[in-house]
Chain A
Amino acid sequence: MSDDEIILSDLSDDELVQQMHDDLYDGLKDEIEEGTQILLERGWAPYKVLTEALVEGMRIVGEDFRDGILFVPEVLLSANAMKAGMFILRPLLAATGAPKQGKMVIGTVKGDIHDIGKNLVGMMMEGAGFDVIDLGINNAVEKYMAAIEEHQPDIIGMSALLTTTMPYMKVVIDTMKEKGIRDDYVVLVGGAPLNEEFGKAVGADAYCRDAAVAVETAKDFMKRKHNVRN
């Protein structure tokens, strides 16, 4: 039997989850939607579908991306398949009060139009199950504040590639402090000319050297938030 002829609904739960991991790896959106539906119909809790089928599948994708086996366009496909599954699960997760994977608002700061790195981060975060609101480039502090208000994210992500725009991250963080909301959010920063020290100096929670680290760091903060340890 060739792979194309696999009938998902004929598979046992374990086999189906395995198959979904493979389908995520191959970036098959329709198959992921179908698998997600089947598991739900079989009575799986939405949170269990999310963690065991989708998040675990994307963990494998993330590792192979890190190790240079998978390439950016392939990971983008996987992330899109993951998003399609998430789209089905999101309302159900909310209704069942399941712990949230997390929501992030991300944007390149004012004066800066570099966005390739930020886009990669957004894509990997979506792949890991986060809701990502992308503010695009050249964002003034007001944009971040409005997005915080509108979307109530867990994480604020800022990207800057110019030494002249990096300091603007502090403007955003200081404004959050002034408004007394700084501690309600996790602030992550990144971009080629930044470093650990700079992240600390502007008062971010963490500096992320690349997209994989951004995902790991975000997950870590979400675990702490929900007081989950493993």
Chain B
Amino acid sequence: MMDPDTPAIRRRGGRASVVAAREAEKRPRVSTIKYGIRPVEAVTAEQLERIHQASLAILREIGIEFRDETAIRQWKEAGADVQGQRVRLDGEMLMHLISKAPSRFEMTSRDPSQRFEIAPDTMTFGAMQGAPNVRDLQGVRRASTIEDLRNMNRLTQMLPGFHIAGGFTCEPTDIAVPWRHLHINHSSLVETNMPFFGLTTGKQRAEDSIAMGQIVHGKDFMDQNAVMLGHVSGNSPLVWDSTMLEGLRAFVEANQVVLLSPFVLGAANTPADIPATIAQLNAEALAALAYTQLVRPGAKMIYGQYSVSVSMRSGAPMSGMPEVTLINAVIGQLARRYGLPWRTTASQSSAKTFDAQSGYESAIAYMSGASAGANLMMHAGGWDEAGLVCCMAKFVADAEQNLLIEKYAQGISFEHFDDALEAVRRIGPGGHYLGDSFTLKRFKDAFFAPEILDYLSYEQWKVKGSKDMAQRCREKAKSIIASYEQPPMDPAVREELDAFVAQRQEEISPSIA
């Protein structure tokens, strides 16, 4: 029996049109991803309440340091108990401030098709940032340059799977430090047309970042729309410092998004205990989140956190560990309680080559974040050696993983359930579904079809050159970079952007060659 809904098989234009259609079907850039799965909860409601109360007690009784004159003044004006740099906050004031934050907000860019929502029920992917080294297209580890950064941005722009460009996915170490941030932002803005991370380490760098964003997007546009994120790390235990808070203010005042990340190095800067670690981390996050609302009520912000445990053999950070998975689950529960989007670190690894360790650690980090309902999957591309290397091959592999994880997060659709059950009737016992009309209609979307992961037979794989994953990824990266085209930019805007860089270089330090 034929499926009555399926039209008879017709001419579709032969090879040429099928190939063209298949190309066009390649996923467009991801838009808002809505969670369909239920998040894993690692603690009961009572246990969550105990952690929340412990965080409030930490802030009320021990307090937290804001090593920054402006912040101290603002806290005093707001009526907090301030002694020196120590700020003690009562729970009511804290939660009142936090309640001013939007639960959901959009990010966009100069390309209006790039528009997605960051919210407690959505998922967003950002490329890695901060690596001083690359593992390059030959697989060689070396200090990264501006050309490497440009290539990373080209890859970010071309590969589906990323919402947000990393900003300094790798560090252009060949550019003098005082000028570097200008070139980093320049590359984000020219090589991509995506929302991106600006630089937050200090007032000047943050203000230059915002100014460059405004040249390209227009100040009015940015006053209304979020196109940039600023990442602000805390200095656990219980310190927020001036450098980072200056960055925070610059971003928030320009209506851009801030990501506030306490930094757990379990047992080094938090207690050697999971719930107490979370209580401290949460206290640090709440204080910074509340402060952000003090600077600008309604400011868009993300509950950040970077969690790793620490090797007691060397002090080195360790990813992929079970404790981090548990911490993620609880942070997810807390953030949903506060009605805020939160961030995890997807795809982190400490491996020195793109090997099994790299794959295992990253896969665990991905699943740990996704199953906990993380809303910003940060560093989701390239991260190896605990962040000291951006691996170009891994970046390509991770981009595919992002699509796979996206599909997992979206959960199970019942849209075709009844039709599919009809197919069960049609085929009955002993047949197969490969030629069934329902399979033909649905096979492209029903099951994910990766390109990088390899499912050939041994003989097929051998004929294709016996290439391992890293090699396949490097080849793909090379071909993407070769076919890359810069997104269009009004020449006048480009000129203004270039002129800004030149002028700021001159102002900052004309003597650097």
Contact = CB atoms under 8 A, between A and B. Distances in A.
A113 B312 contact: no
Given A113-B235, A113-B241, A192-B388, A167 B312 contact: no
A120 B312 CA distance: 11
Interface string B80-121: 000000000000000000000000000000000000000000
15 contacts: A65-B313, A71-B312, A72-B310, A72-B312, A72-B315, A73-B312, A111-B202, A113-B235, A117-B315, A163-B171, A163-B173, A164-B180, A164-B201, A167-B177, A193-B132
A116 B201 contact: no
A164 B182 CA distance: 13
Contact of B268 (A65, A116, A163, A164): A116
A97 interface: no
Given A111-B201, A116-B315, A162-B201, 20 more contacts: A65-B313, A68-B313, A72-B312, A72-B315, A73-B312, A111-B202, A111-B243, A113-B235, A113-B241, A113-B243, A116-B268, A138-B241, A163-B132, A163-B173, A163-B177, A164-B180, A164-B201, A192-B388, A210-B314, A211-B315
Contacts of A163: 132, 171, 173, 177
A116 B312 contact: no
Interface of A: 65, 68, 71-73, 111, 113, 116-117, 120, 138, 162-164, 167, 192-193, 210-211
A188 to B, nearest CB: 18
Interface string B256-277: 0000000001001100000000
A138 B265 CA distance: 20
Nearest to A192: B388
A68 B312 CA distance: 9
Given A111-B243, A164-B177, A193 B388 contact: yes
A125 to B, nearest CB: 15
B315 A120 contact: yes
Nearest to A121: B315
Q: Which 3 A-B pairs have the closest CB atoms?
A: A71-B312, A193-B132, A163-B132
A72 B317 CA distance: 13
A193 B314 CA distance: 16
B172 to A, nearest CB: 9
Contacts of B202: 111
Interface residues of chain B: helix, strand, loop or mixed (majority)? loop
A213 to B, nearest CB: 12
A162 B388 CA distance: 10
A197 to B, nearest CB: 9
Contacts of A192: 388
Contacts of B312: 71-73
Contacts of B171: 163-164
Interface of B: 132-133, 171, 173, 177, 180, 201-202, 235, 241, 243, 265, 268-269, 310, 312-315, 388
A107 to B, nearest CB: 16
Contacts of A117: 315
A121 to B, nearest CB: 10
Nearest to B314: A210
**A72, A164, A210, A211 — most chain B CB neighbours (10 Å):** A164
B416 to A, nearest CB: 51
Contacts of B241: 113, 138
Given A116-B269, A192-B388, A71 B177 contact: no
Nearest to B172: A163
Nearest to A210: B314
Contacts of B180: 164
Nearest to B244: A113
A68 B313 CA distance: 6
Contacts of A113: 235, 241, 243
B201 A71 contact: no
B163 to A, nearest CB: 26
A72 B243 CA distance: 30
A113 B202 CA distance: 13
Contacts of B243: 111, 113
B37 to A, nearest CB: 36
A73 B177 CA distance: 36
B316 to A, nearest CB: 9
Contacts of A120: 315
Contacts of B133: 193
Contacts of B132: 163, 193
Given A163-B132, A167-B177, A71 B265 contact: no
A116 B265 contact: yes
A72 B313 contact: yes
A228 to B, nearest CB: 30
Contacts of B313: 65, 68, 71-72
Contacts of B388: 192-193
Nearest to A212: B314
A65 B133 CA distance: 28
Contacts of B201: 111, 162, 164
A210 B314 CA distance: 9
Contacts of B268: 116
Contacts of B265: 116
A68 B315 CA distance: 12
A126 to B, nearest CB: 16
Contacts of A111: 201-202, 243
Contacts of A68: 313
Contacts of A210: 314
Nearest to A73: B312
A192 B314 CA distance: 13
A117 B235 CA distance: 14
Contacts of A72: 310, 312-315
A192 B312 CA distance: 17
A138 B241 CA distance: 11
A192 B143 CA distance: 13
A192 B202 CA distance: 22
Contacts of B235: 113
Contacts of B177: 163-164, 167
A192 B177 CA distance: 18
A162 B201 CA distance: 11
A192 B385 CA distance: 10
A163 B268 CA distance: 23
A26 B465 CA distance: 57
A193 B170 CA distance: 12
